[in-house]
Structure formats: C-alpha cells, structure tokens
Structure 1
C-alpha cells in the first residue's frame, strides 16, 4: 500500500464507521478541532481509497478474478469479440461491442452488465459458476472509484513466448570469479550443475555444505541407483578403494548392475501409470489394463539396463508396432497404450491416451482442451481432437509367445460378457481401423458430435507443431501382420503334429494288440464250447457272451484308433501344405495358386478323416449303449433306452457329416486356414509420426520433462514443481539454466539416461552433506534448499524399504522379470517389490502405509510422515520375520568363520549396524544397544515357564520364523527388528 495506511483504513465501510465514531466524539472534543480532524481524515481516506483500489484491490481482487475466469477468452491467448480484459487500457478501449468499463460509471460498464445478466446464455463467463456477488461488488467498487490502473499494469504475456515452449539452449556459464576461487571452488570442475550453482550461491550469499561422509555417500549412491543398500563386503570394497576416481568408478559399476533397471524402472512405472489388470478379479473379468502386461514392465527394466535412449523408449512405447513391427522383444513396449485400455468405453481409452501421453512425455495438460479451448496454453479444442486422431485406429491383439499355447484371438466387447484373463501370449496394440475418422464433439460428450463437421486430421497442437511433423503410412512385413509366418510358430506346430501322430500311432498299435488278443481269447472259448456238455473245461454262455462283447468293443476301439491315426497323419500333411502355400503367398517361394489348392485339398482330407473318426466313435458309443440296454435291470431300462436313442441320433448325425466331408473331397478351392489371425498389411503411421514429433530435438518440452523427473528422484525436489504441467499455469523453474543445460546434455548424448545420471550424481551438489548445523546461516537465506546448498534427506519409497530389508537379511531373490506375483505374498516371497501385483483393486499392504504409487496417476509420489507409519513399521510381519532371519544369519556366519569362539554382544552390534545402516555405531548407539540386549535377556530369563513355553508356540504359528528359544538369541533378534525401524535405515541421507 503506497500511502502506508493499513488495509482496513482503505475500506469505505470502515471510513463510514470512523466518521460515526468521530461525530460521537464531538461532545468530548472542541468542535472546531473535531471538524478539522474530520475534514483531514476524509480527504486522506478518500485518497487512501483511491490508492488502495489502484495498488492493492485491483491486483488482489479484480485482476485475480478476471485472470481466473475471463482471460481464457479475453486475454493474450484469445480475444473473443475483439475484447481483452488483461489491462485497464484494453478494458477501456473495449471490443466489438464497445468499452468494457466506463470509469466511475458502473451502470454504463458492459463488463458489469454481462456478469450480472439474468439470461444464462448472455451472462459471462459462459462456463462454470457465475461470479459471486462479492466478486462483482469488488469489480463495481473499483470501476465506481475511477477504474484507475496500477503503474505497472501489463498485458498477459503471450503464451507462445512461454519459457517451456522455447527450445532449450545450453547456457553460457560465466567464468569462476576470484572471490569464488578464494572460497575454494575448484576452477577445474566442468560439471555444468556445479558451475551454475556456484554462480547462484555467490549471488544469493550461500555457503554450500561440504561433501557427505564417504560411507554415507556410498550408501546414498547404492540406494539411489539400484534401490538397495551396500552389503558389508560392498561397503568395505568401496571404502578401501585407493583410486582417485574411486567414486566415479563406483557410479559406473552401479549403473552397470541389472538392479539399476529395476530401481529406475519402478520410478518410470509411476510416471507411465503401470498397472496390472483389474476390474473384477474375483470373477474374473478384465476391465482396466490387460493381462500379460507384465511383459511391458520387463521391457522397461530391460531397456533401462541396455541404456536405450529415452527417445527410443518413447518411440517404442507409442509405436513399436510401426517402428519395429516384427520385433517381439520390443513390440510389447506398446503396453503404455494397453495400460489405458478400458473394457466398457472406447472413448475412455482414447481420452486416457491423449491425457497421459501429453502429461508423461510433454508435460502438457491436453485433457484441459477436451471440452473447450485450453484456458492458458495455446491448445485449441480442435488441437485436442487432432491429437486424439493419432490413436483413433487402435485395437488390441494377442500374439503367441514361443513355448506357450496360442492365447487365441482378442475378444471384442459383448454386452454382459466377462473378459477372462489370458494365461499365455503377449498383448499389444495395432491399427485395425485404417480409415477411422475423428470428429469434433462438444462438452466432453461423444454423443454431442458436431453435425456436418469434416473429419479432423491427426497432428500436434498447431501452435507447437514446428516443422518436424510428417505422417505417412507404414507397410508392414508379412511376419508382423501374419504372425503365423514366424519360425517358432511353424516349429511348434510341426512338433505338435508330430506328437499327435506319435500318440495316435501308439494308441493304434495298442488297440491292434488288444483286438488280436480278444479275438484269440474268443476263438479259444469257442473251441472249448464245442466240447461235450459234460467237459469240465467247457465255458459258460455268460463267459462266451462277455468275450464276444470284448472282441466287438476291441474291434471298434481299433477302428477309432485307426481313424485317429489317419486324421493325425492328414493333419500333418495339411500343415506342411499350409506352410508351403504361405511361403508361396507371402514370400514368393513357389506357385502360390497351385500350392493354395493343395492346401485346400489337404484340409478337405483332414475334414474327411476327422468325420470318419467321429463316425467310428459314434458307432462304438451306440454298440456300448445297446449292450447296456440288454444288461440293464428292469428299473433302469428306460434310462438305458434313452441313452441308446441319443447314441443312435449322434451316429446318424456323424454319418451325415461324413457324407458331406466325402463330397467335399470333390470340391475345388484355394482357401485354407491360416496358422494365426491375419491383420491389416499396413499401419496408418499416425502414432509413429506422433512419437517422432515428440522425440525431435526441435520439440522444446520432451527433454525438459525427462530431466525434471530424473532430477526429482535424485534430489527429492523437482526443478519444475508441477512435473506433469510445464504449461503456462505450471510452476516456473527456479533454476532454468540447469534444466536447460541438462536437457541439451541429454539430447546431445543420444538421450542416454545413464549419462544423465552420471552427470548428476558425480556433481558436488549431489555429494553434499544433508546435515547442516541448526544455526547455519544458510537456513535464514534458503531454508527450503531451492539452490541446493545441501542435500535433502529423503525417506525411502515403500518398495525400497521392503527390498532393503530382504537384502540386509541376505535372502533377496535377484531373479529378473517374469509374471506378476500375487501381492499377498509380500512377506513370504523373496522377490523384489517391482514384481508384485499392483492395480486399482489391490497392492502390497506395505504400499498403502508408506505412500505407494497411485496407479491412476502418479507423476510424483506424495510423502507423508505419520505416527501410524512408525507403528506399522515396528509391528510389520516383514520386519519381525527378517529381523530374526538377519540375527540368525549373523550368528551363523560367525560360527562358520570362528567356530571355536563366542560372538560377543559388542561384535554382534557392530556387524548388525554395518549390515543395516552401512556404518558402525557411535559410542552412544553402542551403549544403548548393549543396554537393550541386557534388559531384553533379563526379561526373557525372568519370564515364568508357562509364558516361555506358550509365547514361542503362538508366534511360530503366526510368523514365518519362530522366535529363538534362548534369551541371548531372542534379544539379538529383537535388536535387529528394532534397527530396521531406525530413521537412518528408512532415510536416504
């Protein structure tokens, strides 16, 4: 407030109250003096009101309302009706309908007329709730008081000139000043982070902290890069490395570990919204995401370990089926789009593809332009639908995987039908609807399609498109649109056919043996039956009948087996004919027409042999049914005859089918069954064009978004706080030079994320101590560490806590990849947490307590600190079980190394601290731990016999590992459990 008056004095209502008070005070004051005071204050207050409206109320109460509710249509981005409302001058000048405001005349001001208009179609703003009466009165008061403009009244900045929409440039780094050099800054340091921060520290007056103690720094690096603390051996090796490049060598070593891909894979899975399928798992019924999507998770881990460029990862996640169409290892990358799939509504799938492609890769809230033009960014509603058009042709498909059964075709949506999860195969996307068109609709409702509107062509937002966008269809290789051509499919089909022939031949040979045996037995019985009636060896009539029936059934079994063998052989021949015809048709390896005809005839032969087999089987069933009629008791006759009638009916149907199949042998044709579904031979190329535009070095957003996410996870705070919104309404970077320097660094080094990690973690900024003295002067200048003069301690993510507990206990299973593991096994299974199911219906219990990812959207995790977390950690079955495992392991290792000596408490404590906290205990910690062990032993020794006998038995039934029976071991188990709850264990310092 320029006149120094407090805000209440500037309010007209307060002025009137003051006047009344002064008038009431006349009786106590000289009249002349009171009048002079009144006149003076009235003048001052009038001036104060005017000044207040100009300098305070306008910015606070008028401009803020206009900016929030009006600038979208009447600001720098758009001027509907030729009107701008972002400066007083533009409001006074007005638009097509005249001035928006008339100073000192609120009744003549069109702005106030429109915001108060009784007709909702004419009232402004047209969307959302109308302005509140209080907001309108603030504007009216300002207009009535003269509508004065602040001295610094400036128009809204041009959104196209927004910092994030300009190409990042490597900043010029000024030379280190003599003052900085005198403060010990190394002039030889070339790391751009440190050089830029040094200049900022000098400007602000900050003294950065020294490097962290090396053991703590080694632990920081291990947990940050691979998500696991160093083992005792790894810690000792790092601390004993005498090389001057020991730290840099350790960085390179850790980036080469496969656990790096798991650690950073989980980070990117947050950003890319990884989720296993969910909907109604108990039914089961797939509604969101899709089964077998874990292959995309494994692809993420594998790609990171291979140091695949970030640009290549985006290209493959959006369009691997167009970029690498026959590459089964990489086409699963399209799981990024599969994850957005929603059973009930194709529109939802399209909306999620647009929204999360925009947020994840571009840092743009494209979804805000779904119903209307974006209010802040240069993205129109048409731009939104242009972006949607990239995804319009999409559909899912199942692909067969080597060594697994064919999952069958993807099921289209059928009302009230459940989608059972596929147990094999891979899921991916493809362009099915090559002529799919996109049309504009209003209000976010696809039913409100704009009639007679022309189809909207795919493309990026016009204002941001640049010159690097080009779209052309992609001709697919035959193996991509016809997976049946793949060699493993043929090999497996041939193996299957060979196995079927072998099985049928074995059954035929067995049936032949049985038929011969039963025939011989019947002949022998007939010979014996010709003997005199008095002969003792003469068989009974019942024996003769049973033998005869056995012979008949055996002969029928033989006929069935013979038909089975013939059908299997025909199948084998037909398979070879189909393969030959495919080679001719798709690879031009022969006469396609004649080979197709052969395949057609071979399949007709299969149909005939199969019909023969079906008739033989039906004949056998009828004979058996007829025999059961003869043998059935009187009360079972009706049931037996009914079965016989059904068998006869089945035989007649089989004979009819057989006649048709026999007739089919005389037909001609060239069609035959493919070895897999056949998909379109071309793809639209839309998504590939989108991916190339996103990953172009002419796109100003992509590299910045990646750098921001990586920086956030290294330092615990982002360079741009709104990680999913770098648009106009997003937070501005406090250190844009560092953001741009690293964005250029990333692009100029083949988008290598490992290179970027190396640049960041080898900087002095990353290595700094996280523990300033409480009276450090920097805390008064930059308490929130905006300029990175210290490292910020970070609490481990829930998955890292769990994995670290298992690693310290020596039981972590380092197996890479594979199908999802049920989240209920989070204690019993030793696998890393990344492999457990996580979806919209369930996840590991541990994740709920410790801020696990939200699968709906998790561009950055929340981090809360609550008492319940400490309690949950202490009582967690995970910590209880593996604390006991760790204590037992330490004792077992000692017995192995020194079987003749006892492990002292002092030695146990040192080993335990090194294994869990990656450091030795200080004297206070050692004393407290010794006291804890002593008291615990005393408690257990003093326990009565009944409690000692019952408690272990109860716990053994509840926990995976029972408590130790000896007080000394039990006390150590409890200390190990307690140390897992230590703040230094769950914190990255």
Structure 2
C-alpha cells in the first residue's frame, strides 16, 4: 500500500515537472511576442504590421459604408462586403488600387469626408489610418475570390446518391398474404405481410357507428348528425362505405379539414411580424384569400403538381403586368403565391428594416418550403455543409438564389408594400387617377364651404373672445391660434383653462348661417356625396413576384451576409439533381420575371422526383394514423427516422403520381382499406391482443391508433353539437382579442359585416403566438416557421377549460336547449338524442340509468335555488348532462 502511494507521488512529481516545462515554454514564447520577436520579423519583413481586411478593415466599412454599399443596398452598384466585390468596383469604375491609397477612390472619398454623405458618421483619423495602411500594404485578405472550393461543394459518393429517400421510388407489386380475405386495397397487402411475418394480423373491423364517426371527423372535421348515422346504418348495400366516403369527399367541409393540414405545413398566419406582444395584432390585409384558395384547391381535387406550381410560381405563369383586366384564373394564380408570404416580416418598422432581418425572412421562407415539400433540413446548410446529409453549403445558396429575385434584399419591398391590387396594373392606374380627380374636385367644394363658414365662425369667436378680460385677451387669442405642439407653457395653460369658453362648435356655426348660405353649403355637400359615390376601390392580394432583375447571389461564408464568397447560380441540391435533372430556367410569361421559381416547381413535380410524392403521401398517412410511415415528416435525411414500411411508402408515392397527383384517389385507397377500418380497441380474448406484447407501439398497425382531435376540431365539434356552428365557407377572418387576465377570446362585439363568432376555427384570425385560449390549451401550434406535425399532450388546463371554461359551459347550455327543442319533455328521448349528438351512438343501459340519476339529482339541486322555476331547473339539469358528455374522452378522441 505504501509503495503504491510512493509510486503515485513519483508520477505526480513527474507530471508537475513536465507541466512546469510546458508553462515556461509558453511564457517564453509569449514574451517573445511581447518584445516583438516573431518569425516574420526575424525574417526582416513588416507583414505582421499590415492591417488585415477581415479583422481590421471589414468592421470599419460595415460601420461607415454598408448602409448604402452593403447588405441593405448597392448605391452606384457598389458592394463593399468583400475584397473581390471591392475590386470589382461600381458603375463609376474602380475604387481600389492595391498598394496605393492615394490613387484609390475608396480612400480619397473617405479622407475628404465626402463619404458617408451628409451628416452620417465619418471615419476617425485612426480608422482612416488603418484603411490607408491596409491599401498601401497591398490590401491583403484571407478570401480573395474564385470558384467554389471542394470544401464548399464536396463531391458526392455512391452512398450519398443511394440513400433510400434520394432514389426514385419503385412501384412494387403488393405481396401475397395468408389472410387474403382481409385485403380490401393494396395498402392492406403491404401491412398484412409485415404483420404475418410477426405472427400478427389485423384487429376486427370497428362497429359501423364508430366507423361513420371516424370518417366524418377525419374527412370533414365535424361529427355526424343522428340522421347521417341512421342513413348509413340503414344502408345494407355492400358499397355503403364507399358511397359514404364519396359523399364526404364532395362535402365543402372536406377542403376546410384538409386545407388546415396544408396551412400548418405552409406556416399560414393572418398577422404581420413576429407577434411578440399579445395586445398588438397587425393584420395582413387580404391574407385570407390564400386560405380560401387552399380550401378551394382541396375541394376541387386540384392535382398536387399543379397545386405546387401555382403556389411557387403562379405569378410567372401569366403576364399579369400587361393584362387589361384580371381574369379569375389570373387572380387565383397571384393569390396562390401567398404560400411564400407567411414568414415573420418585421421590416415594416424602420428600425427593423435591416439586412440581417431581410435575409432571415428569405431563410425562413426557404426552410418552410424545404421542410414542407422536400422533407429535408436544408436550412442546416446555411453556415456550413450539412453535418449528416449530402447537402453542400452551396446547395443552400443555390436554392436561395431561386427566391432572391422576389425577396431581393437590395431592392426590398417592406411588408406594407408587398401586395398587389386585385385589379390589373392598368385598371389600378385608371382607378387611382380617377380617385385623385375626385379628391381634387371634393377639395374645391370643401374650400367653397369653408369660405362660407369661416367668416361666421370667426365672428362667433371674436364675440366669445370679447368676454375674456382685456389684459389677457390677446394672449388667449395667440394661445388658441398656436398649434398645440408648438405652445409654450403659458399658452398651454391659457388654452387649457379658457379654450372651452371661446371654442366655436360646428353646430354654433350652422345655427348662425343665413338661409342662402345654408342652401349653398347643402348643394356643395350633395355634389361631394355624388363624387364620393363615384370612387372605386380595390382589395389587396398578399402575393409574391419578382421585384426586378435577378440579383447576383453569393455563398455567404460562415452563413453571414457580411461575408459574401463565390457567386452562385440558381439551382437545386446536387444529390437530387443526380436523379432528377434540373429543367432549363426560362423567363416567365411576358419576359418580366426570372423564371427561377417556375423551374424549381417543375423540377419538384417531375414524376420521377424521389422526395416530393413520398413526403406528401407520408403526411397524408400521418393524419390518418397519428404517425407517418416516416415519423419525422420534415426530415427524410440521415438524421430522420427510417420508414417502417418502405415498400408501402414507395407504392403509395408512385400510385399517387400515376393517379394524376390526385388527393381524393389517395384518400380512397387509405380509407377503404381494412387497416383504416380496424377497431381501435381490441376486446380481451381476441387473437389481435397478442400485438400488445409483440408490437407495443403499434408500429405495424395491428389495430387502429386512438387519436385525439386537434384543437380546432374540438371547438368545431362542440359548436356542431350545440347547434350554434355557422357553416358558411370562406371570407375574411373573425377577429380575436386578448384580455387583461391573459386569456385570448373571440371578438363578439364590433364585428365586421358578415362575421360570426361561431364560425369554424379555420376562419378565426390565426396568430403566430397568441391563439384563442380554448385552442391553445389543446396544443394549437406556435408558428415559428411552419408545423408539419402537431403534438398531442395531456395537461390539467385542458380539463379546466372543458369543465370551467366559459365557452364549454355556454355551449353546454345551448346543447341542452337544442335537445329540449327536438326531443321535447320525454326524458328517455332527451338522453338518447344527447348521446347521439355528442358521441354518435345511443347510451348503453348502465349509461342510461346513471344519466337519469344525474338528471334527477341536478334537478333537485337547481330547484332548491331561490326563484328557480321547475322549467329552469329542468333545463339546467339537462345542461349538466350535456356538459358531462362534452368532457368524455369518447367525445375528444377519434374512435
């Protein structure tokens, strides 16, 4: 033991000695630095004394010059962000002569204090000396330009190209299975083959009442009514299920249900900016037109390839700039580009209209598109090549170049400028011209009216002023006639104390006018009214369009716009182009656009694209079964999850394309399958119960997953059951408002014409961070960029909202009134109807007995309250039963 301690001491001493030597070496080297003994200086050079561009000069140019010649604008076509761009010069020629500051226009303008112009901050003498020393020293920089380096655009390997998600989807034959009687669509064959390999099979079909409720909620987002249930149960035909599905796919509510899924992935909101203050709501005028476009597209079964093309490049498909009048199709194509507008844009505020925020809007747009459509985390390649996927940093900036002509950071359109009128530019010009003429005519009439009224008003004023003591009369006149923001303290006091005494009201002037003057004013006002009736107006379309020639795009070294590297051309990820060649980029309709986005959309919708169809069919599957075949719907790369059923995913993707990219065909394939029609709850003793031990997470789908309704569908279902739901479709959003206690509620007063607080949740104002409380407690997503998969958590606030919340209790009362109006005074009919409305089924015998007991007890409790009449107690008791049904898990979950 002692020997071991001695050995440890010896080792410790040796380590200390070694560390001491290292420390002495470091100190010695450091002292050499201090006294100036450096390798380059010992070689007799002064290179170390020359300022470096990135460290010493770049920050100075950013401070003094970039406002006009950097990230936010290129005045005189001059960009001072990197040495290659400085050497390139501007429209006035070269500005830098390396090794000669006195010959360099850059230095001469700064030294003469001519730049920056006006009262802008000028460089100090020390900073000018640094810039001069840098130029005289040869203008050295680490980055001197050139083509993309191997590190910036690394070579692709066979392993990269052969990643499962980057290969063209196959169209495998559905496998043979033992229990072929359980195969209703090819979807079942793929699933059943995996189940049978584990000794499992599908669960039995759900009962017909559960199936009809499931179909209504999944396809329309609303529960079936009692008549819907009775009609389906009474149909004995073998194709009754197919007929029901066709009926639901033709419902206008289908587009609302599935349009909401797409709007999540698109990051749709009705507001502007980051939405960080609950009390400030900044609406995006006309944004709702895009929401309605999406709903219409799903209802009309617009092919997905066309749907993407219109949203990415609708403005490039028609020559809207030269149109004499917008056709409905032209207007729809412009509205469709609202897909590219939801990114949080704060540039409407001057202090936030900066280069970094402009770029962030472009980055967020790129992230939304890539995660939504491609299922790739391309945004991870902004600062460096992707750490997991074969996506080079240059790929990110090539894709950014696709959108740069529309989101041009040097020719920026602020959020309040980034809209189109819903009439053609020619019509807008005519309308603006005519309205200006009307405004001018009205101005003339107002002058004539003022010429009649002003002398009378002045006479009345003088009479009132004469009542003021003479000592302060003139001071009072001066105080009243001086604009409020220019009054001194004495004038403010006089105006505050005496202003009301000398004020002349319009009605005072009107009463003092002679009859002829009154008649003349009435004639002028009548003409003004006629002129106002001739005004024309137009709405706003939150569209996206190329704002000018395509700017030069650069690879930003380290991901910062402050460090532009090599120029890049618009393009797409090389690993995907290896499988799907990029189409040629041609100018859009009329030649006024770059055609970048059209080429991108056509590349995405190539029938052989490996990702576009896989990603969208996976998300459709996710909405039906609670998780996708790939459980990371926005990440099909190496850091994402592998597909649980790769052959099925490929078959669905290729079948989707073969069907003409039609969503309704895909829905029919899935909803008609045995997999979808399984029971979600397996009874004890059924062979399917073995799945609980073999596949506890139900990845193989041996039963239908139980799924909770989304926040909007919970609210909509409550309104549908209570009978208060307004089923009108489309139109401007219903306003919401925050309360001082932190609650966010739907506005019920001062509503705009046609607005109804009981419309579907899709039509409420959608904010980025502050949703109505009854939605937010049920996991309404916060929209940072977009949402490709919602969470479903269980928290205490949900129970509190359903039990004690104003909305739930008020709608329970309305639910009870509806039951009484339909079922009358028969208690058994009331209970039966309440169960059918809320749960889509009649009560069981035990439920019936307990419901009757609840009604009796609550009736007596209500009747015991002062001044309560029997009829009121009866309704209140039924409201308790209705409220209880709304709080059941059965109401909140899809069976």
Measured in 1, the distance between the counterparts of 2:277 and 2:821 equals 47
Asked whether the equivalents of residues 422 and 538 of structure 2 are also in contact (C-alpha less than 8 Å), the reply is: no
Answer yes or no: is 1:340 the counterpart of 2:343. yes
After superposition, residues 85-100 of structure 1 pair within 5 angstroms as none
Measured in 2, the distance between the counterparts of 1:795 and 1:284 equals 28
> Helix, strand or coil for the counterpart of 2:544?
strand
> Helix, strand or coil for the counterpart of 2:607?
coil
> Helix, strand or coil for the counterpart of 2:312?
helix
Question: Tell me, which stretches of 5 or more residues in structure 1 are unaligned?
Answer: 1-15, 21-120, 122-155, 410-421, 478-680, 896-902, 950-963
Match of 1:734 among 607, 627, 644: 644
Answer yes or no: is 1:786 the counterpart of 2:807. no
After superposition, residues 205-220 of structure 1 pair within 5 angstroms as 205-220=199-214
Q: What corresponds to 1:756 in structure 2? A: 666
Q: What corresponds to 2:873 in structure 1? A: 967
After superposition, residues 199-598 of structure 1 pair within 5 angstroms as 199-279=193-273, 290-326=284-320, 327-340=330-343, 342=345, 343=347, 344=353, 345-395=357-407, 397-401=418-422, 424-450=539-565, 453=566, 455-465=567-577, 466-477=579-590
Asked whether the equivalents of residues 383 and 461 of structure 1 are also in contact (C-alpha less than 8 Å), the reply is: yes
Q: What corresponds to 1:826 in structure 2? A: 746
Measured in 2, the distance between the counterparts of 1:974 and 1:174 equals 53
- Relative contact order, higher structure (CA 8 A, sep 6+): 2
> Helix, strand or coil for the counterpart of 1:218?
helix
**1:288 shift after superposition:** 8.8
Deviations 1:174-208 (A, max 9, x none): 3334xx35xxx35xx46111111121111011132
Distance 1:849 1:393, change over 3 A: same
Distance 1:329 1:736, change over 3 A: same
Asked whether the equivalents of residues 917 and 985 of structure 1 are also in contact (C-alpha less than 8 Å), the reply is: yes
Measured in 2, the distance between the counterparts of 1:888 and 1:270 equals 35
Measured in 1, the distance between the counterparts of 2:227 and 2:647 equals 40
Match of 1:744 among 644, 654, 658: 654
Measured in 2, the distance between the counterparts of 1:728 and 1:800 equals 34
Asked whether the equivalents of residues 271 and 282 of structure 2 are also in contact (C-alpha less than 8 Å), the reply is: yes
> Helix, strand or coil for the counterpart of 2:557?
coil
Q: What corresponds to 1:869 in structure 2? A: 798
> Helix, strand or coil for the counterpart of 1:208?
coil
Asked whether the equivalents of residues 273 and 344 of structure 2 are also in contact (C-alpha less than 8 Å), the reply is: no
Asked whether the equivalents of residues 318 and 589 of structure 2 are also in contact (C-alpha less than 8 Å), the reply is: no
Match of 1:883 among 809, 812, 815: 812
After superposition, residues 706-725 of structure 1 pair within 5 angstroms as 706-725=616-635
Deviations 1:792-811 (A, max 9, x none): 11110110011111111222
Asked whether the equivalents of residues 823 and 830 of structure 2 are also in contact (C-alpha less than 8 Å), the reply is: no
Distance 1:445 1:311, change over 3 A: same
**1:700 shift after superposition:** 0.1
After superposition, residues 640-659 of structure 1 pair within 5 angstroms as none
Asked whether the equivalents of residues 289 and 339 of structure 1 are also in contact (C-alpha less than 8 Å), the reply is: no
Asked whether the equivalents of residues 317 and 588 of structure 2 are also in contact (C-alpha less than 8 Å), the reply is: no
Asked whether the equivalents of residues 292 and 425 of structure 1 are also in contact (C-alpha less than 8 Å), the reply is: yes
Q: What corresponds to 2:840 in structure 1? A: 918
Q: What corresponds to 2:773 in structure 1? A: 845
Measured in 1, the distance between the counterparts of 2:278 and 2:681 equals 51
Distance 1:241 1:929, change over 3 A: same
**1:287 shift after superposition:** 11
Distance 1:289 1:695, change over 3 A: farther
Q: What corresponds to 1:938 in structure 2? A: 860
Asked whether the equivalents of residues 211 and 769 of structure 1 are also in contact (C-alpha less than 8 Å), the reply is: yes
TM-score, normalised to structure 2, is 0.63
Measured in 2, the distance between the counterparts of 1:288 and 1:392 equals 26
Measured in 2, the distance between the counterparts of 1:273 and 1:279 equals 13
Measured in 1, the distance between the counterparts of 2:423 and 2:719 equals 33
**1:384 shift after superposition:** 0.9
Measured in 2, the distance between the counterparts of 1:905 and 1:433 equals 71
Asked whether the equivalents of residues 404 and 550 of structure 2 are also in contact (C-alpha less than 8 Å), the reply is: no
After superposition, residues 23-62 of structure 1 pair within 5 angstroms as none
Measured in 2, the distance between the counterparts of 1:307 and 1:813 equals 24
Distance 1:928 1:287, change over 3 A: closer
Measured in 2, the distance between the counterparts of 1:307 and 1:159 equals 36
Deviations 1:219-252 (A, max 9, x none): 0000000000011111111111122100000000
> Helix, strand or coil for the counterpart of 1:439?
strand
Asked whether the equivalents of residues 626 and 705 of structure 2 are also in contact (C-alpha less than 8 Å), the reply is: yes
Deviations 1:618-642 (A, max 9, x none): xxxxxxxxxxxxxxxxxxxxxxxxx
Measured in 2, the distance between the counterparts of 1:400 and 1:725 equals 37
Distance 1:438 1:282, change over 3 A: closer
**1:904 shift after superposition:** 2.2
Deviations 1:497-548 (A, max 9, x none): xxxxxxxxxxxxxxxxxxxxxxxxxxxxxxxxxxxxxxxxxxxxxxxxxxxx
- Bigger Rg, which one: 1
Measured in 2, the distance between the counterparts of 1:740 and 1:756 equals 13
> Helix, strand or coil for the counterpart of 2:568?
coil
**1:434 shift after superposition:** 1.4
TM-score, normalised to structure 1, is 0.57
Report the RMSD for the aligned CA atoms in angstroms.
2.9
Deviations 1:44-83 (A, max 9, x none): xxxxxxxxxxxxxxxxxxxxxxxxxxxxxxxxxxxxxxxx
Q: What corresponds to 1:814 in structure 2? A: 727
Distance 1:818 1:695, change over 3 A: same
Asked whether the equivalents of residues 399 and 571 of structure 2 are also in contact (C-alpha less than 8 Å), the reply is: yes
Measured in 1, the distance between the counterparts of 2:845 and 2:736 equals 41
Measured in 1, the distance between the counterparts of 2:283 and 2:582 equals 30
Answer yes or no: is 1:859 the counterpart of 2:871. no
Measured in 1, the distance between the counterparts of 2:220 and 2:862 equals 40
**1:279 shift after superposition:** 3.5
Question: Tell me, which stretches of 5 or more residues in structure 2 are unaligned?
Answer: 9-141, 143-156, 321-329, 348-352, 408-412, 434-536, 738-744, 749-756
Asked whether the equivalents of residues 275 and 281 of structure 2 are also in contact (C-alpha less than 8 Å), the reply is: no
Measured in 1, the distance between the counterparts of 2:722 and 2:875 equals 16
> Helix, strand or coil for the counterpart of 2:368?
helix
Distance 1:423 1:977, change over 3 A: farther
Distance 1:972 1:930, change over 3 A: same
**1:157 shift after superposition:** 8.5
Measured in 1, the distance between the counterparts of 2:344 and 2:873 equals 56
Measured in 1, the distance between the counterparts of 2:281 and 2:358 equals 12
Distance 1:462 1:288, change over 3 A: farther
Measured in 1, the distance between the counterparts of 2:291 and 2:676 equals 29
Q: What corresponds to 2:154 in structure 1? A: none
Asked whether the equivalents of residues 291 and 423 of structure 1 are also in contact (C-alpha less than 8 Å), the reply is: no
